[in-house]
Chains A and B, each alone.
Chain A
Amino acid sequence: MIWDSAHAGAVAGVNKTGASIYWNAPTREDDVEAQIALVDRVVSGNYQGLVLAPDQALSLISPVLRALSHGIPTVIISSPLPIPAGGNLSYILNDDEEGGRLAAKRAAALMNGHGTVAILGINPDIAGIMIRARAFEQFMAQNEPGIRIVEKHMGTFNAAHEQQVAEDTLRANPNLDLIVALVGSTIDGSVAALETTAGNRSVRIIGFDAFGGLSFHQGAGLDSVIQQDTRSMAEQAVELIHARRMGQPVPSLVHIRPKLLTRENIDTAEVRQMTSSDWTLGHWAWSSAQ
Chain B
Amino acid sequence: MRLPPLPRRILVGVSVVVLLALGAIALLAYLHSPNRGLPYRDSFAQGAAREWKALGGTWELVHGVMRNDSDERGAKLLAGSPYWRNYSIEADVNLLGSSGDAGLIIRSSDEEEGVNAYSGYYAGVRTRDNGLVLGRADHGWMEVYKQSPAAGGIRPFQWYHLKLLAYDCHIVAAVAPPSTAASTLLGIDDRNCIQSGRIGLRSYSAGGIWRNVVVKSATREDLAEMLRPMGTERQAESRNAAPEGDETGREQMLSKRPGDSDRIPVALSIESLRLGPFAKPERATIRGVVNLATPMLFVQDSTGGVYIPGPNAPLLKVGDEVEVTGEAHPGDFSTTMEHATVKVLWARTPMPPVSVTASQASTGKFDAEFVEVQGHLASKEYGPENTLVLNLDEGPQSFRAILNRGRGDYLFSTLKPGSSLRLRGICVVDPAFTKNLTPFVLLLRSNEDLQVLAGPPWWSTGHVIALIIASLLIALVINFAYHRIAHWRLQGVLEERQRLAHEMHDTLAQSFAGIGFQLQAIRNRLPGEDTAVLQQLDLASDLVRHSHEEARRSIATLRPESLESEDILSALDRCARRMVEGGSVHVISEKEGDQRPIPLRIADTLYRIGQEAIANAVRHAQPTILTIRLKYGQNLACLHIEDNGGGFEKGNGLLGFGIRGMRRRAQSISAKFHIESKVGAGTLIEVAAPLPPRITVANAPRLVWRYLREHWIDARHSKQADSYSYRG
Of residues B397, B434, B440, which shows the largest number of chain A Cβ atoms within 10 Å of its Cβ? B397
Q: Are A58 and B279 in contact (CB under 8 A)?
A: no
> Measured between C-beta atoms, what is the minimum distance from A228 to chain B in Å?
19
B359 within 8 A of A: yes
Segment at the interface with B among A149-157, A162-170, A174-182, A254-262: A149-157
Query: Which partner residue on chain B sits nearest A119 by CB separation?
Result: B275
A266 within 8 A of B: no
**B278 contacts which chain A residues (CB < 8 A)?**
133-134, 137-138
Q: Are A32 and B363 in contact (CB under 8 A)?
A: yes
**B275 contacts which chain A residues (CB < 8 A)?**
122, 152-154
**B280 contacts which chain A residues (CB < 8 A)?**
141
Of residues B274, B279, B280, B436, which shows the largest number of chain A Cβ atoms within 10 Å of its Cβ? B279
**Given A58-B363, A59-B362, A138-B278, A124 and B333 touching (CB < 8 A)?**
yes
Q: Are B397 and A62 in contact (CB under 8 A)?
A: yes
Q: Are A58 and B436 in contact (CB under 8 A)?
A: no
**A1 contacts which chain B residues (CB < 8 A)?**
none
Cα-based distance from A263 to B639 in the complex (angstroms):
103
Q: Are B364 and A125 in contact (CB under 8 A)?
A: yes
Q: Are B359 and A33 in contact (CB under 8 A)?
A: yes
**A124 contacts which chain B residues (CB < 8 A)?**
332-333, 364
Q: Are B363 and A82 in contact (CB under 8 A)?
A: no
B439 within 8 A of A: yes
**Given A124-B332, A153-B275, A56 and B437 touching (CB < 8 A)?**
no
**Given A36-B396, A124-B332, A130-B332, A61 and B279 touching (CB < 8 A)?**
no
Mark each residue of chain B from 644 to 688: 1 if its CB lies under 8 Å from any CB of chain A, else 0: 000000000000000000000000000000000000000000000
Cα-based distance from A149 to B330 in the complex (angstroms):
15
**Given A61-B438, A83-B436, A141-B279, A125 and B398 touching (CB < 8 A)?**
no
Q: Are A63 and B396 in contact (CB under 8 A)?
A: yes
Mark each residue of chain A from 42 to 68: 1 if its CB lies under 8 Å from any CB of chain B, else 0: 000000000000001111011101000
B258 within 8 A of A: no
Q: Are B398 and A65 in contact (CB under 8 A)?
A: yes
Query: Which partner residue on chain B sits nearest A39 by CB separation?
Result: B396
Q: Are A62 and B362 in contact (CB under 8 A)?
A: yes
**B333 contacts which chain A residues (CB < 8 A)?**
58, 124
A140 within 8 A of B: yes
Query: Which partner residue on chain A sits nearest B334 by CB separation?
Result: A124
Q: Are B359 and A84 in contact (CB under 8 A)?
A: no
**B436 CB contact (under 8 Å) in A32, A63, A84, A141:** A84
Q: Number of residue pairs across A and B with beta carbons under 8 Å?
A: 69
**B277 CB contact (under 8 Å) in A37, A142, A149:** A149
Mark each residue of chain B from 398 to 416: 1 if its CB lies under 8 Å from any CB of chain A, else 0: 1000000000000000000
Cα-based distance from A142 to B438 in the complex (angstroms):
35
Cα-based distance from A262 to B436 in the complex (angstroms):
38
Query: Which partner residue on chain A sits nearest B364 by CB separation?
Result: A58
> Measured between C-beta atoms, what is the minimum distance from A106 to chain B in Å?
18
**B359 contacts which chain A residues (CB < 8 A)?**
32-33, 59
Q: Are B279 and A82 in contact (CB under 8 A)?
A: no
Query: Which residues of A94-148 have CB atoms within 8 Å of chain B's CB atoms?
Result: 122, 124-125, 127, 130, 133-134, 137-138, 140-142
Cα-based distance from A122 to B363 in the complex (angstroms):
15
A267 within 8 A of B: no
Query: Which partner residue on chain A sits nearest B399 by CB separation?
Result: A62
Cα-based distance from A151 to B109 in the complex (angstroms):
63
B431 within 8 A of A: yes
B78 within 8 A of A: no
Cα-based distance from A44 to B278 in the complex (angstroms):
41
Query: Which partner residue on chain B sits nearest A151 by CB separation?
Result: B275
A40 within 8 A of B: yes
Of residues B277, B429, B439, B440, which shows the largest number of chain A Cβ atoms within 10 Å of its Cβ? B439
> Measured between C-beta atoms, what is the minimum distance from B441 to chain A in Å?
11
Q: Are B332 and A40 in contact (CB under 8 A)?
A: no
**Given A134-B278, A153-B275, A61 and B436 touching (CB < 8 A)?**
yes
**A62 CB contact (under 8 Å) in B279, B363, B431, B439:** B439
Q: Are B396 and A40 in contact (CB under 8 A)?
A: yes
Q: Are A82 and B434 in contact (CB under 8 A)?
A: yes
**A127 contacts which chain B residues (CB < 8 A)?**
332
Cα-based distance from A125 to B332 in the complex (angstroms):
8
Q: Are B438 and A59 in contact (CB under 8 A)?
A: no
Query: Which residues of B423-438 have CB atoms within 8 Å of chain A's CB atoms?
Result: 429, 431, 434, 436-438
Query: Which partner residue on chain A sits nearest B333 by CB separation?
Result: A124
**B363 contacts which chain A residues (CB < 8 A)?**
32, 56, 58-59, 125
**B429 CB contact (under 8 Å) in A58, A83, A84, A137:** A58
**A84 contacts which chain B residues (CB < 8 A)?**
436
> Measured between C-beta atoms, what is the minimum distance from B434 to chain A in Å?
7
Cα-based distance from A32 to B364 in the complex (angstroms):
13
Query: Which residues of B277-312 have CB atoms within 8 Å of chain A's CB atoms?
Result: 277-280
**B431 CB contact (under 8 Å) in A36, A82, A138, A153:** A82
Query: Which residues of A199-255 have CB atoms within 8 Å of chain B's CB atoms?
Result: none
**B279 CB contact (under 8 Å) in A36, A59, A140, A154:** A140
Cα-based distance from A137 to B440 in the complex (angstroms):
28
**B397 contacts which chain A residues (CB < 8 A)?**
59, 62
Cα-based distance from A32 to B397 in the complex (angstroms):
12
Cα-based distance from A133 to B364 in the complex (angstroms):
18
Mark each residue of chain B from 249 to 293: 1 if its CB lies under 8 Å from any CB of chain A, else 0: 000000000000000000000000011011110000000000000
Q: Are A57 and B364 in contact (CB under 8 A)?
A: yes
Cα-based distance from A174 to B333 in the complex (angstroms):
30
Query: Which partner residue on chain B sits nearest A152 by CB separation?
Result: B275
**A134 contacts which chain B residues (CB < 8 A)?**
278-279
> Measured between C-beta atoms, what is the minimum distance from A103 to chain B in Å?
14
> Measured between C-beta atoms, what is the minimum distance from A220 to chain B in Å?
28
> Measured between C-beta atoms, what is the minimum distance from A107 to chain B in Å?
14
**A58 CB contact (under 8 Å) in B274, B277, B396, B439:** B439
Q: Are B436 and A59 in contact (CB under 8 A)?
A: no
**A125 contacts which chain B residues (CB < 8 A)?**
363-364
**A122 contacts which chain B residues (CB < 8 A)?**
275
**B274 contacts which chain A residues (CB < 8 A)?**
154
Q: Are A82 and B364 in contact (CB under 8 A)?
A: no
> Measured between C-beta atoms, what is the minimum distance from A34 to chain B in Å?
11
> Measured between C-beta atoms, what is the minimum distance from A71 to chain B in Å?
18
> Measured between C-beta atoms, what is the minimum distance from B336 to chain A in Å?
14
Cα-based distance from A134 to B280 in the complex (angstroms):
11
Q: Are B440 and A58 in contact (CB under 8 A)?
A: yes
**A137 contacts which chain B residues (CB < 8 A)?**
277-279
Cα-based distance from A274 to B438 in the complex (angstroms):
35
Cα-based distance from A36 to B358 in the complex (angstroms):
13
**B364 contacts which chain A residues (CB < 8 A)?**
57-58, 124-125
> Measured between C-beta atoms, what is the minimum distance from A40 to chain B in Å?
6
**A36 contacts which chain B residues (CB < 8 A)?**
396
Cα-based distance from A289 to B215 in the complex (angstroms):
97
**A83 contacts which chain B residues (CB < 8 A)?**
436
> Measured between C-beta atoms, what is the minimum distance from B333 to chain A in Å?
5
> Measured between C-beta atoms, what is the minimum distance from B48 to chain A in Å?
35
Cα-based distance from A131 to B651 in the complex (angstroms):
103
Cα-based distance from A50 to B396 in the complex (angstroms):
17
Query: Which partner residue on chain B sits nearest A62 by CB separation?
Result: B398
Interface contacts beyond A58-B333, A82-B434: sample of 20 additional A-B pairs, CB < 8 Å, sorted by A: A33-B359, A36-B396, A37-B396, A40-B396, A56-B362, A56-B363, A57-B332, A58-B362, A58-B439, A59-B363, A61-B438, A62-B396, A65-B398, A82-B436, A124-B332, A140-B279, A141-B277, A141-B280, A149-B277, A154-B275
| 15 chain-A/chain-B pairs, Cβ below 8 angstroms | A33-B359, A58-B440, A59-B397, A62-B362, A62-B396, A62-B438, A63-B396, A124-B364, A125-B364, A127-B332, A140-B279, A141-B279, A142-B279, A154-B274, A154-B275
Top 8 nearest A-B pairs (CB, nearest first) are: A141-B279, A58-B439, A124-B332, A152-B275, A59-B362, A137-B279, A62-B398, A82-B436
